[in-house]
Amino acid sequence: MTFIGAPNKKLEAIAELILPQAIKDEVAGEVVFHEFGVSHVNDIGELIGEGKKVLTSSQISRANKQLLQTNDILIVNKVSVGKIALVESPLPTNAMPSQAFTIVYIHKHVINISPVSLFQYLLSPLGQAQLKALSTGDAVIMIGNTDLRFIQIPVFSEEQAKKAQQIRNSVKNLNNELFEI
């Protein structure tokens, strides 16, 4: 996929960026949430496992504001900067990301950038270079949410979006074949 000459948009123009907040595990908590961390992202950007169970009663409203949905993109913003996940498979009820991520919700009015094409772009050398350029810190490498807003995202043609989907399907199929072996 080539993006040379493609018009660009800032990430903030096409998506809402959410920084998850910590949910304190309460011994007597009544509602179970499943918190997914960086260790729950496999090599092809899928969330795996059940996540860490967190019980809460006092922070249900806060937790509900950061629930994961199909087609959400997760960008690791601490330590493993540049790691990307795409929520494709059904997750446990009340799944949410840890604070190591930024959740990217593509606005519903955006029609020329699909979750898969954005995910594939962020994994590309161009996307990774932008993420790495925003990284700061010596002991703990981070990307600020404010900085993420300004990443330049190419506006994809319909052909490019289809190609991104084909690439994603191929990667998933190959991964499944390797897993079966």
Which residues are 152's β-sheet partners?
Answer: 10
Question: What's domain 8-180's architecture?
Answer: Alpha-Beta Complex (3.90)
- Whether the predicted pLDDT of 72 surpasses 60: yes
Q: What is the pLDDT of residue 6?
A: 63
pLDDT digits (tens, 9 = 90+) for 116-135: 999 999 999 999 999 999 88
pLDDT at 3 over 60: no
* Domain ranges across the chain: 8-180
Q: What is the pLDDT of residue 5?
A: 58
Give the integer Cα–Cα distance in Å for 16 and 96: 16
Q: How do residues 73-84 score in pLDDT, each as one tens digit?
A: 999 988 788 899
Q: pLDDT value at position 2?
A: 45
Across 97-113, average pLDDT: 92
Sheet containing 15-18, strands listed edge to edge, beginning at the edge strand earlier in sequence:
15-18, 101-106, 73-76, 84-86
Over residues 21-26, mean pLDDT = 92
Using an 8 Å Cβ cutoff, are 21 and 62 in contact? yes
Distance CA 85, CA 101 (A): 9
pLDDT at res. 165: 84
- Of residues 66 and 156, more confidently modeled: 66
Indicate the pTM of the whole model: 0.87
